[in-house]
Amino acid sequence: MTSDNIFVERFELGGTGPTVAVKDCIDIAGKRTSVGSEALSEAPPAAAHAAVVAALIAGGARIVGKTNMHEFAYGVTGVNRWLGTPINPNFPKLIPGGSSSGSAAAVAAGLAEIAIGTDTGGSIRMPATCCGVFGLKPSFGRVSREGCIPADSSLDCVGPFARDVAGIETAMALIDPTFVPAGRPASVRIGWVESSADAEIAEAVLAELRRSGAEIVPVDLPGLDQAFEAGITIMAAEAWSTFGDLVEDPRIGADVRARLLGASKVSAAQLAEAEKMRTRFIAAVDQALAGVDALALPALPALPPALDDLGDAARMLRLTSLIRPFNVSGHPALAIPLAGRPVAIQLVGRRNDDETLCAVGARVEQGLAA
């Protein structure tokens, strides 16, 4: 590990194209995939590249290392007891955000032009916001998860970090062979979603959207809070299925063990109710998107905490209350950072129309830079 704890291992692999850092839950042939956990520190090296890594190499990208992460991708702070916590380059006193902490930090520090992370409950958009970079959770199923841990998930998405939307589009074109960047729209119509975000956060995000020149209209999105709860339930059940057999391993961090033990208590009835909520929320998001180019709301409902003020688990989970619902629905979601603050606009687009979402995001980014 380097002193900044951003990388698990530095190496170079591939061509001479954009430099890319890859989260340590994604297989790279000949490298161990530890998923940020000492409990997997003796796992054999991966026999083959994950599909996303093979695509990066085939596209000429230059992979520069594997990045640190929250253990088992099951935490929002990015704090890692075993590997050390990646520094947040732009806001060093604050958490880097999890679980893709090292990937966001690598881009923020200029150590990679692009980074690849995964997002099951906000794990790309959360650290992107904390570290002040752009991050995209693609539509569910849009980018292959072959060779990623967990192997099975109804929520998890592989996606990119970059320093601007153009970088996000470059990354998507590399990792998704169907992605073709769309032309920039002359104007955009954005639906503003009222949320439980702190007033100062919501006001800052809305003010920046207005400054960008976008047309802002209010839209109703019922079920946001219930979808958040459903996402916690579904993720817990799936995490227990993947990592439950390791819960007694003394090398696991206390925070992850506590969450896994809680996850073991999810009942079949709770999971069934969460799935019903998923169906309702998908329809609600689709309806909210009718007549607008994208939805907008803050990525995080509050400022990220300082490293020495982590508080209780419930407070940390609340930080994902506005991002986790879109893992449940499967819609693409893009975090656009506000200059000088660990605050981000979250734009949400139509399912499987990631190209249009990125084009809308580029138009907003252009307006903010003007």
Q: Which two tokens stand for residue 361?
A: 């995001």
Alpha carbons 15 and 136: distance in angstroms, whole number: 24
The two three-digit tokens of residue 149, written as one number: 């841990």
- Omega cis (within 30) before 150: yes
Which residues are paired to 348 by β-bridges? 295, 333
Which residues are CB-neighbours of 119 under 8 A, at least 6 positions away?
A: 100, 125, 135, 137, 156, 157, 159, 327
23, 31, 66, 137: which one is catalytic? 23
**Nearest in space to 324 (alpha carbons), one of 340, 300, 344:** 300
User: Which one from 99, 139, 321, 329 is the annotated catalytic residue?
Assistant: 99
CA–CA separation, 30 vs 287, rounded Å?
46
11, 111 Cβ separation under 8 angstroms: no
320, 146 in Cβ contact below 8 A?
no
Active site residue 23: yes
* 15 backbone dihedrals φ, ψ, rounded to 5°: -100, -145
Q: Is 154 a catalytic residue?
A: no
Token output for 290: 């009718």
Q: Which of 37, 100, 101, 123 is catalytic?
A: 123
SS3 at position 245: helix
Are residues 346 and 335 in contact, defined by beta-carbon separation less than 8 angstroms?
yes
Q: In what order do the strands lie in the sheet with 333-337?
A: 7-14, 62-67, 19-23, 114-119, 157-162, 134-137, 333-337, 344-348, 294-298, 189-193, 215-219
Give CA 362 to chain center in angstroms: 19
Retrieve residue 289's tokens. Answer: 């998107």
Query: Which positions are annotated as active-site residues?
Result: 23, 99, 123
